[in-house]
Structure 1
Amino acid sequence: TYKAKVHPKCLARLNANQNGKLLLVTAITPTPLGEGKAVTTIGLAQGLAKLKQSVMACIRQPSMGPVFGIKGGAAGGGYSQVAPMEELNLHLTGDIHAVTAAHNLASAALDARLFHEQREGYDAFEARTGLKALKIDVESITWKRVMAHNDRALRMVKIGLNEHGKTINGFERNEGFDISAASELMA
């Protein structure tokens, strides 16, 4: 069994080869314990391999949130699972971490822009930076920060809290965390 991150350029050298057959497992209603697409995909691959077919299963890197919950990760279950499952469940490619970092960088940039525009005033901000003030209404912001695991207590938080009379940490507003796999950057 192998795992790999394959660059799309590798496909070019296979263009002359005959195409294989593709079987997609796109949706399934999982059991209460989470046996769904991954178990089905891995089980199908194992069954076809047992029939002496040349098989490759392509499954996604799971979010860490469910890994630590009752359902576990998307490594399959029973006799239909990826082993060692910790390699799949705990940062197989690192892509989710990269998305998390990029998403939260955008969150920090948004808050920095809000801070400078509101603290200086729009006209002063434009004069100092040469940038047009965005005049973002903080009540209209739907962009939340993200993290790779579930933390119920952080779904709704208040950010920008300051000492009395100081605005050094930003402006107070409601915020929250979504799971990284739900980031708009994952698309």
Structure 2
Amino acid sequence: MSTRPIRDVADELGLSPADLIPFGRGVAKVELSALERPARGAGRLILVSAMSPDRAGIGKTTVSVGLSMGLRALGRRAAVCLREPSLGPVFGMKGGGTGGGAAQVEPADTINLQLTGDIGAVESANNLLAALVDNALHFRSTDLDPCAVTWRRVMDMNDRALRNVVIGLGGRKNGVTRETGFDITAASEVMAVLALASSREDLEQRLARVVVG
């Protein structure tokens, strides 16, 4: 299946080429500055928050995609907004997060396999702070009790063996030995902050207030 040039899609939504950060022919990010322009007209937001999927796997994503397609078929200007799929469900029983059947988002493979790399960036930011905490414990530059550290590392994969681990093994040069573990990136506090932030400044302020232990 061939996809439309992303600029054509953006033009329908009132976005100019200057608003786009291209990631190939069918993928692009939108500059935050696009939010500062006045809206072209009144719109409606339909939130599909939760539902129980049927045996065929029709759930929130498929319904959302199908709804936007139906509105467009009626001559309405509509767009569907979905979250980037995590690799855990993609490679698990649930499968990808781009819909199914005739109600799919394309390019599905690109979307399911990291898309623009935002989840990886969140993962790196979270794990950088985890490394800084352990570095501070190693050099005793903080009074934080190693047993009281609540900030865990994250990864975008379901790996049961890493849910609870012991780090700092191998002698004093390898850090303070303590129990910790890995969470999935999509459930991390950094991801929650990113989802709730209303601006770059708000993002920075929220991240500056996180508690590590």
TM over 0.5: yes
CA distance in 2, matches of 1:33, 1:173: 44
The number of equivalent residue pairs is 168
Is the counterpart of residue 25 in structure 1 residue 33 in structure 2?
no
RMSD, aligned α-carbons: 1.8
Equivalent residue in structure 2 for 1:113, among 128, 136, 144:
136
CA distance in 1, matches of 2:188, 2:136: 21
Higher Rg: 1
Matched with 2:34 is: 10
Change (3 A) 1:156 1:32: farther
Contact 1:33 1:71 in 2 (8 A): no
Is the counterpart of residue 161 in structure 1 residue 160 in structure 2?
no
Report the CA distance between 1:65 and its aligned residue.
Answer: 1.1
Matched with 1:143 is: 151
1:138-181 deviation digits (Å, cap 9, x = unpaired): 2212211001111111111111111xxx3111121111110001
CA distance in 1, matches of 2:41, 2:125: 39
Matched with 1:125 is: none
Secondary structure of 1:26's match? coil
Change (3 A) 1:153 1:35: farther
Q: Which runs of 4+ in 1 moved over 3 A?
A: 1-4, 30-35
Matched with 1:173 is: 178
CA distance in 1, matches of 2:125, 2:99: 29
CA distance in 2, matches of 1:139, 1:74: 37
CA distance in 1, matches of 2:164, 2:85: 24
Identity of aligned residues (%): 48
Contact 1:61 1:89 in 2 (8 A): yes
1:97-146 deviation digits (Å, cap 9, x = unpaired): 111001000010000111111xxxxxxxxxxxxxxx42111221221100
Matched with 2:70 is: 47
Q: Which amino acid aligns with 1:161?
A: L
CA distance in 1, matches of 2:47, 2:129: 34
Secondary structure of 1:168's match? helix
Report the CA distance between 1:16 and its aligned residue.
Answer: 5.6
Contact 1:45 1:55 in 2 (8 A): yes
